[in-house]
Structure 1
Amino acid sequence: MRNCYVLRIILFSFLTINGSVAVAQVPKSLDSLETYVKTHTSPDTNYVQAIISLAYELSTKKAAHQRADSLLQIAEKVSVQLDYGRGVARTYNNMGNTCYLTNRPKEALGHFQKALKIGEKYKLHPRTIALTLSNIAIAYSKLGQPDKVVEIELQSLQLQKQYNLKPLPSSYENIGHALKRMNEQKEAIDYYQQALAIKRTANNPYGMAITEHNIGRCYDDLNQEMPAISHYKTALNYILGSDYELLRADILGNIGLALRKEKRFQQAKPYLEQSLAIAIKQKNNESIGSGYFSLGRFYEEIKDYKQAEQYMKKALALANGDDDKANIALYTQGLADLYGGMKNFQQAYVFQLERNQRMDSTTAIRTSAEVQRMVAKYETEKKEARIKLLQQEAKLNQQQAERTSFRTNALLIGAALLLLLGVAVSAWLLNRAKVRRLEEAQQLRKQIAHDLHDEVGSTLSSISMLSGHTDTLLRQNQPESAQKMVQKIYSDARQILESIDEIIWTINPSNDTLHRIALRLQEYAQPLMESKNINFTFQVDPTLEETPISMEVRRSLYLIGKEAINNLIKYSQATQATVKFERSDTQLRVLIEDNGQGFDTSQQSGRTGQTSMKQRAQAMGGLLEVRSVPEQGTQLVFTTSLA
């Protein structure tokens, strides 16, 4: 579904700010503003207001963001020269608007915060301060921080109550949007309805269209398509014949998607195509990408996978070009799901793992579960196909043995008995090998399940508990505590992703060489060394490049190296470090050393994990030696046979 509707909330806030401070002498239409700015040469407050209003009209109605930005820079300069606080505040607010509409939420947040400081410095009207707070909340919403949205909007509502201001619909709308993002759609609808009532009183069709659109989105998320379509069409009626083309494109697209979910494909397609046509006409990349993606989902639904793939890839290319992280994640997930439906699990892997690297804490649990599902499905299909093949071979061998016994000649009964004995022994050996292979396959599946349980299970349980507690804190109006919980959830989710990535790497047969282990450790160690300003050297014997190694040995060796590197980073205080992979005849030697503070090996601390490293080395048939002297660095030497 579309996300562009978020852009429309902020525009209403600016419209209200602009309207609340407009000067009578300044014209209102776009053409008259153009004429006024060109002919008005006196740098006074009316000139500033006209420039800001013209920039607003160009940005919101024509998407001429570059020209709007140039005009606002002039407005900023003149306002500062005139010491015109209201003009400076309006300029920063509109600069934030332009940044927001061009997918630069961090810059938008900076401009809005500047506007707030100016408003407080010049003691501007509390309504202007409250609206600026709403704009700050909107920027936090775009940055994916719904807890901050609620915190800032509660400040705005408190200010409105303190000064007995006319209620601002944007405050209720933003809280509704934050609740929607936290999957509290029913509660969000209540806040949207309060915003809608205020806009009806003000007779603001554009604002009513935005809110009706958002209510439709909530019903869409609740899979109640009929009321969703009703609200979408009401929103569309409010802006018919207006200049707000991009909002119309969003609404048309969502009507098409709702009809698609209702399986009314013939009715859905024209809405989706109209939406895309408007976006292309307006040259708005985010809306164009959303239109491509919506049509891709449409064609996926009707099993036209080729068309679906083309449209989704176009959407992803546009998002990548604009570095639009939220839509990159959305479109990448869509392609992963598409390839999964096409049974192309290899491509599904690629896009799903790319999606994992871009996700935020609100989607970490769902995406981790999807990765586990794909891994399990892909590996299970391969193992089941292998088992089925082995069973067929066993059946054929049995049938062959039976045919051979029936063809034996009575005159050669002695030889036949001997032959039968040989066949029986051969069959026993063959079946024994096949059973071993089946056991290995079963052991691999158990290992994957065990690793997922150990690495992921407890962390997911923690995330689930923290999520529930976060909801409770938000309901109790404790946003700071809730934010800490969200940060913890984010950290745990990243840990799950790293664990799953290591499990997938471990079971991938293409990594069954010592050279691949060395590269993996180098990729792990390099950024850690750089973060501590350690001069790092990594050396690998070229003869190890094609040396094969089993999955279990590969995993144990990688974990030993990873633990040793972590200890070096945490405790050594070194300025130089070296990792070497060397081969001598049939012996592998791995050296990890540093010039750090060292320690007394006779008084080792249990925190370094040396016991577990030595146990892993012994399980591989190797030897791990730790050599260290205080103030003279540390050497860790692992040796094992390659035979």
Structure 2
Amino acid sequence: MRTVYLLVCFWFCTRSGEAQVPQTLDSVMVYLKNHTALDTNRVIALNVMGRELHSTGTPNYKRADSVLRVSEKLALDLHYGLGLGKAYTNIASIYFLTDRPQQALAYFQKALSVAEAYSLSLRFTCGAFSNVAAAYNKLGQYDKVVEIQLRSLRLQEEKNLRPRISATYEGLGNAYRNLGKPREALPYYQQALAIRQAGKEIQGMAIVENNLGVTHDLLEQYNQSISYYRRALKHAEEVNFELLQADILVNLGLVYRLTNRPLEGLPYVKRSLAIEQKLQNKGGLGTAFFNLGQIYQDLKQFGPAEEYMRKALTLANEVGNKQKITDYTAGLAELYNDMKEYKLAYDKQVQLAALKDSSVTLATNRQVEELITQYKTEKKEQQIKLLNQQAKIREEELTNKRLQTTALLITGTLLLLLGAMITAWLLNRARLRRLEEAQQLRKQIAHDLHDEVGSTLSSISLLSGMVNGIIAQNRPESVERAVQKINTDARQILEAMDEIIWTINPSNDTLHRIALRLQEYAQPLMESKNIQFSLVADPTLDTLPIPMEVRRNLYLIGKEAINNLVKYSEATQATMRFEHQKDQLNVVIEDNGRGFDTSQLSERTGQASMQQRARAMAGTLNVQSGSGSGTKLHVSVPIG
């Protein structure tokens, strides 16, 4: 059970405008002794001192908070908006790093209010949005994270802010990862890392590299995750960021545990525990205790495993972190099951059931879908706004003409009425079109959830109802099989939800995204069969938008064809090509396998279903194959 800090670099927006003030702790303390004037430079210096006290080296949170409170008061007295916004940002980051996200949220929101009230720079304002989102992320409110980070990203795109703010991309990566969509998170983290590297931000690079390591863990790509963790640890040590070092060390210990090498992971987690004990950070200390307990559990040393996990749960209860309480309770239940202490395991499972609420996850996913749909329809709303503005201009012109002559007055009145009728008609038609699109989207999502999720949820419900009876009969083997079945069904639901949300996500409205998605799906399957696989995509695909229904049908045809190729072809080489020719998209999937008789329609290979999907896109699907001559599938779809 992994628990990871979701650290965001809050201090990117606190360095601008400080050229006159030293930026290191020792030099700024000397500066403050010599600079006694109560002016804006003193506010800046106090902010720098507070930042350095809590964000570098061994943090001194109490002293940092005291310094920043002085900075806050002086900035208020001077009506100095930038200094006040920085003070609130730094105070919030102290709460964030000491695992008090609710207080962090309050001060990040204060910083955002100051940015808007004083019309501070675009970079500061967008950064303030990202910081608010980071606090919501730590509170587990991922729908708000997506909403706020998309707002920040839109603002940066509208104003063409360069370079973009790394924290915005990191925040979106965190949200997608916590929603169980690590593949969606990866490109956001990669963009964030590129920005950090370009700015030579060592501390920021360490944070993003750590997040990339966690994401590759979730994808079970452990060699990549170890590589990122080692780079992150090197950068964190370079800037002496001990809190982040502790987090990375825990993650390194966990990746060795996940690869069945707990003895190799043990020293890393012990190093993390030593740092957390030195910093007296309860949240991090609980994380280290719990992960140390899990390693001892793997080593069958149940005594220390139980001791450390109980310590972790006690700290989580003291802090009031509901997610960690849930994780640690689940971990203890698993430990007691391994110890064959079935009564204790049952008690923890009862506690765990009271803590969990599956409806929260489903509601969060629905809210995220609504946000994405809203983002997709914004352009249409802007077009309606433009029509209103044009109608108002036309009305003013007609009013001026009406004052000239009576004849023009009559004509102007008629034109005004006609213009109003046309505008009303256009608005009504656009509104109806949006309602129809929204209704169609809801029907599609409901259909997909019923087909792909409903039956599996029924299976989980049935198995869950059986578990209590099996436990009462003292049949641990049957309980284990039932739990494994529930785990398999739950994973299938997550995969189905991932495909549904990917389909409606407006950021995937290009052919290039479909090609990448199919490549991600095909690559591990091809490797499992030792098939050499390559993807060739026309560079112009990146700028070609495509309707949601066409995207869905094209993806499902490609997925079905890839499955057939892997299962039946016995090929050694396979290629997938995306070609754009005028107003036509051609997708070709071919292999050098054994081939088959195309005259024999097979339900097993889903040919009829693929033909039906091609017709739904007003396209064609042609399959060419023969015994020993491989297979070539060609889909042609009109676009543009």
Q: 1:204 maps to which residue?
A: 201
Question: Are the counterparts in 2 of residues 352 and 371 from structure 1 also a CA contact under 8 Å?
Answer: no
Deviations 1:460-515 (A, max 9, x none): 9xx9999579836971489xxxxxxxxxxxxxxxxxxxxxxxxxxxxxxxxxxxxx
TM-score (norm 1): 0.58
Distance 2:262 2:310 in 1: 22
Q: 1:17 maps to which residue?
A: 13
Question: Are the counterparts in 2 of residues 105 and 142 from structure 1 also a CA contact under 8 Å?
Answer: yes
Secondary structure in structure 1 of the residue aligned to 2:16: helix
Distance 2:474 2:261 in 1: 39
**What displacement does 1:300 show?**
0.9
Matched, 1:149 2:179: no
Q: Decide whether aligned partners of structure 1 residues 194 and 468 sit closer, same or farther in structure 2, where only a CA change above 3 A counts.
A: closer
Q: 1:138 maps to which residue?
A: 134
| Counterpart mapping for 1:602-613 below 5 A | none
Q: Decide whether aligned partners of structure 1 residues 355 and 38 sit closer, same or farther in structure 2, where only a CA change above 3 A counts.
A: farther
Q: Decide whether aligned partners of structure 1 residues 41 and 341 sit closer, same or farther in structure 2, where only a CA change above 3 A counts.
A: same
Q: 1:36 maps to which residue?
A: 31
Matched, 1:127 2:123: yes
Secondary structure in structure 2 of the residue aligned to 1:240: helix
**What displacement does 1:304 show?**
1.3
Matched, 1:188 2:192: no
Q: 1:324 maps to which residue?
A: 321
> Could you tell me which of 22, 27, 31 is aligned with 2:22?
27
**What displacement does 1:294 show?**
0.8
Q: Decide whether aligned partners of structure 1 residues 168 and 101 sit closer, same or farther in structure 2, where only a CA change above 3 A counts.
A: same
Q: Decide whether aligned partners of structure 1 residues 331 and 376 sit closer, same or farther in structure 2, where only a CA change above 3 A counts.
A: same
Q: 2:592 maps to which residue?
A: none
**What displacement does 1:186 show?**
1.1
Secondary structure in structure 2 of the residue aligned to 1:99: helix
| Counterpart mapping for 1:403-414 below 5 A | none
Q: Which amino acid aligns with 1:6?
A: L
Matched, 1:262 2:352: no
Q: 2:3 maps to which residue?
A: 3
Distance 1:257 1:272 in 2: 8
> Could you tell me which of 471, 476, 485 is aligned with 2:501?
471
> Could you tell me which of 78, 90, 95 is aligned with 2:86?
90
Matched, 1:272 2:362: no
Matched, 1:67 2:63: yes
> Could you tell me which of 439, 459, 469 is aligned with 1:379?
469
Q: Decide whether aligned partners of structure 1 residues 220 and 337 sit closer, same or farther in structure 2, where only a CA change above 3 A counts.
A: same
Distance 1:108 1:367 in 2: 37
Q: 2:335 maps to which residue?
A: 338
Question: Are the counterparts in 1 of residues 92 and 107 from structure 2 also a CA contact under 8 Å?
Answer: yes
**What displacement does 1:332 show?**
1.3
Aligned residues: 401
Q: Decide whether aligned partners of structure 1 residues 50 and 357 sit closer, same or farther in structure 2, where only a CA change above 3 A counts.
A: farther
Q: 2:524 maps to which residue?
A: none
Q: Decide whether aligned partners of structure 1 residues 472 and 217 sit closer, same or farther in structure 2, where only a CA change above 3 A counts.
A: closer
| Counterpart mapping for 1:99-138 below 5 A | 99-138=95-134
Distance 2:204 2:152 in 1: 19
Q: Which amino acid aligns with 1:33?
A: V
Q: Which amino acid aligns with 2:202?
A: P
Q: 1:309 maps to which residue?
A: 306
Distance 2:459 2:337 in 1: 14
Q: 1:392 maps to which residue?
A: none
Distance 1:360 1:95 in 2: 33
TM-score (norm 2): 0.58
Deviations 1:418-440 (A, max 9, x none): xxxxxxxxxxxxxxxxxxxxxxx
Q: Which amino acid aligns with 1:29?
A: T
Distance 1:58 1:369 in 2: 54
Deviations 1:529-577 (A, max 9, x none): xxxxxxxxxxxxxxxxxxxxxxxxxxxxxxxxxxxxxxxxxxxxxxxxx
**What displacement does 1:355 show?**
2.6
Matched, 1:240 2:234: no
**What displacement does 1:218 show?**
0.8
Identity across matched positions, percent: 39
Deviates more, 1:28-37 or 1:154-163: 28-37
Distance 2:340 2:459 in 1: 18
Deviations 1:331-387 (A, max 9, x none): 1111111112222222122222323333354786899999986774453254478xx
Q: 2:554 maps to which residue?
A: none
Question: Are the counterparts in 1 of residues 29 and 49 from structure 2 also a CA contact under 8 Å?
Answer: yes
Deviates more, 1:300-309 or 1:233-242: 233-242
Question: Are the counterparts in 2 of residues 2 and 253 from structure 1 also a CA contact under 8 Å?
Answer: no
Question: Are the counterparts in 1 of residues 98 and 281 from structure 2 also a CA contact under 8 Å?
Answer: no
Distance 1:274 1:368 in 2: 45
Q: Which amino acid aligns with 1:208?
A: M
Question: Are the counterparts in 2 of residues 286 and 319 from structure 1 also a CA contact under 8 Å?
Answer: yes
Q: Which amino acid aligns with 2:282?
A: N
Distance 1:340 1:222 in 2: 27
Q: 2:75 maps to which residue?
A: 79
Q: Which amino acid aligns with 2:13?
A: I
Distance 1:280 1:213 in 2: 21
Deviations 1:187-246 (A, max 9, x none): 111111111111111111211111111111011112222221111112122233432011
**What displacement does 1:124 show?**
0.7
Q: CA RMSD of the aligned region, Å?
A: 3.2
Q: Which amino acid aligns with 1:379?
A: G
Question: Are the counterparts in 2 of residues 5 and 214 from structure 1 also a CA contact under 8 Å?
Answer: no
Distance 1:381 1:115 in 2: 53
Question: Are the counterparts in 2 of residues 72 and 95 from structure 1 also a CA contact under 8 Å?
Answer: yes
Distance 1:38 1:129 in 2: 32
Q: 1:619 maps to which residue?
A: none
| Counterpart mapping for 1:457-536 below 5 A | 471=501, 475-476=505-506
Question: Are the counterparts in 2 of residues 339 and 348 from structure 1 also a CA contact under 8 Å?
Answer: yes
Q: 1:48 maps to which residue?
A: 43
Q: Decide whether aligned partners of structure 1 residues 159 and 314 sit closer, same or farther in structure 2, where only a CA change above 3 A counts.
A: same
Distance 2:194 2:498 in 1: 32
Structure 1 gaps of 5+ residues are 386-448, 450-455, 479-643
Distance 1:41 1:168 in 2: 35
Question: Are the counterparts in 2 of residues 2 and 250 from structure 1 also a CA contact under 8 Å?
Answer: no
Question: Are the counterparts in 1 of residues 10 and 93 from structure 2 also a CA contact under 8 Å?
Answer: no
Q: Which amino acid aligns with 2:17?
A: V
Q: 1:359 maps to which residue?
A: 356
Q: Which amino acid aligns with 1:471?
A: I
Q: Which amino acid aligns with 2:356?
A: M
**What displacement does 1:283 show?**
1.7
Q: Which amino acid aligns with 2:120?
A: L
Q: Which amino acid aligns with 1:282?
A: L
**What displacement does 1:325 show?**
2.2
Matched, 1:215 2:305: no
Distance 1:174 1:109 in 2: 14
Question: Are the counterparts in 2 of residues 153 and 174 from structure 1 also a CA contact under 8 Å?
Answer: yes
**What displacement does 1:252 show?**
1.3
Q: 1:158 maps to which residue?
A: 154
Q: Decide whether aligned partners of structure 1 residues 310 and 79 sit closer, same or farther in structure 2, where only a CA change above 3 A counts.
A: same
> Could you tell me which of 225, 228, 239 is aligned with 1:228?
225
Q: Decide whether aligned partners of structure 1 residues 23 and 371 sit closer, same or farther in structure 2, where only a CA change above 3 A counts.
A: farther
Distance 2:350 2:458 in 1: 10
| Counterpart mapping for 1:558-597 below 5 A | none
Q: Which amino acid aligns with 1:3?
A: T
Q: Decide whether aligned partners of structure 1 residues 240 and 369 sit closer, same or farther in structure 2, where only a CA change above 3 A counts.
A: farther
**What displacement does 1:3 show?**
3.4
